[in-house]
Structures are given as C-alpha cells and as structure tokens.
Amino acid sequence: MSYLRFQAITKRFDTVEVIQPTSIDIERGELVVFLGPSGCGKTTLMRMVGGLDDPSTGQILLDGEVVTTPDRRRGMVFQSYSSFPWLTVAENIAYGMRYRTDLTPAEKAERTAHYLSLVGLRDFAASYPNRISGGMRQRVAIARTLAAGSDVLLMDEPFGALDALTRERLQVQLREIHRREAKTIIFVTHDVEEAVFLADRIIVFSARPARVLADVNVTQLLGADRHLDIRETREFFDLRNQVLHMIRHETEAA
Amino acid sequence: MTASPAKGHAPSAPQNGKGAFAPLFRFRGKAGSAVEAVVGILAALLVVGLWELAARLNLIAPQFLPSPFEVVAAGWRMLTTQSLLYHAGVSTARVWSAFLLAAAMAIPIGILMSSYRIVGAALEPMVDFIRYLPVPALVPLSIIWFGVGESTKIFLLWLGTFFQLVLMVADDMRRVPNEYVEVARTVGANSRQVMIDVALRSMGPSLVDNLRITLGWCWTYLIIAEIVASNSGIGFVIWSARRFVKTPEVMAGVVVIGIIGLITDQLLRALHRRMFRYL
C-alpha cells in the first residue's frame, strides 16, 4: 500500500464543486508537483494532507492512518508570511520543535544549528526576517519544517514571489535537500518550467472543478539528477512543451 | 541590546549646518532626526513669538488672549501655591485606572470576538450601538448611578474607551495572517499555544499602537467628567479659573494637559520601539 493515498476525494464549497472524485497514490520519498491553472483546487488538495482542509467525501491516508488534524509530521511552507517576523532566523527554525517534548534543549539547539547550515543561513542566525531577502525567508521556512521533523513537506507556491535567479537557485537547493533528507514533498505551482525541473512526478490538474488530467513520471524521462544545464536539453524542452499544451488547453477551456 | 552607533545623520548635522538642512527643501528629501527636531522647535517658537507679539501690541484683549509669558507665570503660581501637581496627579491617576480597566476588559473580549463567531455575533451589534452614544450625553445617567465620586469619572472614561478599543482589538486579531496560525498548528501547537505564541505576538505592534491612541481619548473624556462633577483634577482647575475669567490660568491648565499627553505619548512610543525591535 502506498505511503500517501488520496482516496476518492471530492470537495464542494456550498454548491460549487471544486474537486471531482480524485484518487492519487504517492510513494515515500517522492517529490510530487501538483500543476494546474490558478484556482483549480490543487492547493485545497494539498492542504487536506496538512489537515487544514477537510474533503467533502473520501479520505486521505498517510502511512495507513486517516488524516484528520494538523500535526508536525506534515509541515507547510507558504508563499508569503512563511516565517514569523518577531523571531530571528534561528528562533524561527527552532520554533518547529517548540512543542516537541521528546527532545532535550541541547538536542533542539543542535538540530537548529544543523538545519541552519543545511539551508546556508548560519551567518544570518541572529537576523530578523525583514532584514533578509525573500529567498532566504523561504529557506527559513523549509528549515523550520525539517527541524520540526516533518516527513511530508507541503509547499504552496513557495517560490512564487521570488525573482527568476533566486527561484532557480532555490529549486536546485530543494532538489538537493530532497535527495539528502529523503522527505516526501508535495509542491504546488502553476509554473510549468518549475514543475518539470523539480518533479519526480507531475500531476496535471484540469481547471475547476479539478480532476487529474495526466500523471507524468519525470524521473523516468529526465533522470533523478537535476542540474541547471538540464533546462537546455531536448528532453526537458519537449516535456515542458507537452505539459504546457495540456495546461494551455485547460486555461482556454476555463 | 545591540549598540547602534551613529543612527541616522544626526552626528554630522552640526558640522555642515547648511548641507544638513538642504534636504528639507527637496521634494521627498530625507533629513536627520536632529535636524527635524530643530525645525520642530523653531516652528513652535515662531508660533509662540507671534502670540507674544499679538498680546504685546494689544491686538486682542488680554482677558481673551494673555501673553505666553503671563500663561507661564500663572502656571508657576499654580504649581507653587495652588497644588497644581496634586491636581495633575489626580487626573493622571483617573485616566490610567479607567484606561487599564478598559484595556484589561477589551483585550480578551476583543480577541474572543474575532476568534469565535458566537462571541462576535452576539456582541458586535451592541458594541456598535453603544460606541456611537456620545459620552457627555451619558453624564446625567452616570451621576444618577454612581453619584459624583470617583466611580462616575472612571465609568465615563471607561465608557468612552472600552467600546472603541474592543473593536480595534477584534480587528487587530482578525488581521493576524492565517498562514501564521496554520504554521503553528502544523508544528503541533494547540489553540492556547497558537493564541499566546503566535496571535498575540503577531498583533502586538498594532495592539500597543491602538492602546496609545485610546489613552489619548481618555484625557478628552476626563476633562468632561471633571468639569461636570469634581473638586479636584485639572478639569476642575480649568473650570474654576474660568469662573473668575482667569484666562492665563485656564490656558496654563490646558498646556499642562498637553505636556502630560506629549510625555506619555513619547514614553509609549519609546516602549513600542523597545518591545518590537524587529520592525
């Protein structure tokens, strides 16, 4: 049985159907990108894994257990407001462990230091979030969820507000972190290029009400190692166009 | 406490006097805080100078507009022989007790109003109604209920501030980004921890700002309360001086309120900066 299962999920807001019956199976350690037109319901699906939204029917199973409420095994990284402005970078990362009673203060300090350097922010440990760049703030949020001990990272367009170069760098770093930490990641975006570069697997959604249009195994086509050069290869280019066509067709239909 | 030497352009201002003042005249120019303070003081002195001039030239009869010098002299007289400090102290104590009472009630109730719809839906219409009642209109009722003692004054001040403040607090709470709450919940915080560790911290700066503004309103209502029913406090001093057309003393009383207000405001701003260094 799969690690994370979406079992016949539907969602309605009042009378509006947002998500058509959807079933997805995700394996442990996969980096899955949910790609679809804006407002299609992909974020809602991801939030259900976090226990932040309830499906109208169906259920989410994580490691065989039904997801009902949020807990620290499933961490969120948002596009904005992702770190607390009143805590320093180090304190923000340590906040991920704040409610854990299984760790001693020394262990917490050690983990904070570890994740601080993992995301390359050791020199900014004592800075407040409004003193660092947007890209650094997103790295703080990623480090916080890792420090919390989340097995699943739920990322809601985390790089959406960043400039192209920063974005590219963070995409590379996220792949690297994913490889090293072996976490299961669901990454929501509407950027096709980002999806193809990051994903082990892309789930392409239709316009609202969401339904799975395609399930693309990217690793099979591009391999697991992603360098920036891959963006210039024929394979990358073809895959990007193929996915782009699916999305474009949907946006016109919507 | 990290030291921040040479904040702004203040230290360089005296050396190149002309250069420091030049940005003041540039569109959207930036000036150092010392330069701005100098401009502020000069402008105030100019106004007082014009006032002095108007009084000296007898442009306006002295019983209407005494010279600044006379007002200061009256203030000194009141300070040394008419226990001005006592009255100022009484007024300040009244303002702070009513303000603290209003704040102690408004903060939890306001937070509950925007956190739980049952509380919000029940209280919002009532609060909105009472908020629009003019405080002076309730003076007679207050005297019937509480007599002319301290409780009337505290009640009137509380009335004027609580209902405004509770809505401001509710609004501050509503503005706490949902992302913060959800981040907290996904690292395992329970409702109480979300409230204390996240919501209160996030709303802190605007809450303290709103408290500072509300404290200013307290002074307005205080003077009304002291004029109507009191034999102590600055409002009482002003009102008794008026009876004998002692205009300099009336104005001195008003100036004292202004000074207390200015000092309090600056202290609270300094506190705000200290509490929220990250801003």
The two structure tokens encoding residue A115: 């994740």
DSSP-H helix ranges across A129-226? 134-148, 164-181, 192-198, 218-222
Other Cβ atoms less than 10 A from the Cβ of B39: the count is 13
pLDDT at A227: 85
CB B43 within 8 A of CB B24: no
Contacts of A35 (CB under 8 A, 6+ apart): A42, A189, A190, A192, A195, A202, A203, A204, A205, A243, A247
CB B24 within 8 A of CB B35: yes
Q: What is the pLDDT of residues B43-91, one digit of tens each?
A: 999 999 999 998 888 888 888 888 899 999 999 999 999 899 999 999 9
Q: Is it the case that residue B174 has pLDDT exceeding 90?
A: yes
The two structure tokens encoding residue A30: 């996969």
Mutate to test the interface with B, among A79, A92, A98, A128 (most CBs of B within 10 A): A98
Three-state SS for B142-155 is HHHHHCCCHHHHHH
CB A96 within 8 A of CB A72: yes
The two structure tokens encoding residue B227: 């004029």
Min mean pLDDT across A10-19, B7-16, B65-74 is at: B7-16
Q: Is it the case that residue B16 has pLDDT exceeding 70?
A: no
* Residue found under tokens 């408290």: B211
Q: How far apart are CA A130 and CA A105, in angstroms?
A: 27
| Eight-class DSSP state of B247 | H
Q: How confident is the model at residue B11 (pLDDT cuts 50, 70, 90)?
A: very low
Q: Is it the case that residue B9 has pLDDT exceeding 60?
A: no
Which value does ipTM take for this structure?
Answer: 0.90
Average model confidence (pLDDT) across chain A: 91
| Region class of A210: left (phi > 0), else alpha (psi between -120 and 50), else beta | beta
Q: Is the alpha carbon torsion for A44, A179, A225, A3 positive or negative? A: negative
**What is the average pLDDT across B248-274?**
92
**What is the average pLDDT across A173-201?**
93
CB B204 within 8 A of CB B222: no
Q: What is the pLDDT of residues A37-49, one digit of tens each?
A: 888 889 999 999 9
CB A148 within 8 A of CB A75: yes
pLDDT at A215: 93
pLDDT at B228: 80
Q: How confident is the model at residue B135 (pLDDT cuts 50, 70, 90)?
A: confident
Residues above pLDDT 90, as percent of chain B: 61
Burial label for B143, CB within 10 Å (0-12, 13-18, 19+), is middle
Residues above pLDDT 90, as percent of chain A: 72
Contacts of A218 (CB under 8 A, 6+ apart): A196, A199, A200, A201, A202, A239
Is A68's Cβ below 8 Å from some Cβ in B?
Answer: no
Min mean pLDDT across A3-17, A141-155, B134-148 is at: B134-148
Is B177's Cβ below 8 Å from some Cβ in A?
Answer: yes
**What is the average pLDDT across A134-155?**
93
Is A76's Cβ below 8 Å from some Cβ in B?
Answer: yes
Q: How far apart are CA B249 and CA B240, in angstroms?
A: 10
Is A102's Cβ below 8 Å from some Cβ in B?
Answer: no
Residues above pLDDT 70, as percent of chain B: 94
Instruction: Name the residue among B179, B198, B276 with its Cβ closest to that of A82.
Output: B179
Contacts of A211 (CB under 8 A, 6+ apart): A19, A20, A21, A22, A205
Q: How far apart are CA B139 and CA B200, in angstroms?
A: 35
Rg (CA), chain B: 24
The two structure tokens encoding residue A110: 């050690």
CA distances from B94 to A200, A235, B162, B269 (A): 68, 77, 15, 21
Other Cβ atoms less than 10 A from the Cβ of B205: the count is 17
Min Cα–Cα distance to chain B from A228, Å: 31
Q: Is it the case that residue B14 has pLDDT exceeding 50?
A: no
pLDDT at B56: 86
pLDDT at B236: 92
By DSSP bridging, strand A31-35 and strand A184-189 are parallel
- Residue B203: CA atoms inside 13 Å, Cβ hemisphere, count? 25
Greatest mean pLDDT range, B25-34, B135-144, B199-208: B199-208
Q: How confident is the model at residue B18 (pLDDT cuts 50, 70, 90)?
A: low
C-beta atoms of B186 and A76 within 8 A? yes
Is A99's Cβ below 8 Å from some Cβ in B?
Answer: yes
C-beta atoms of B202 and A84 within 8 A? yes
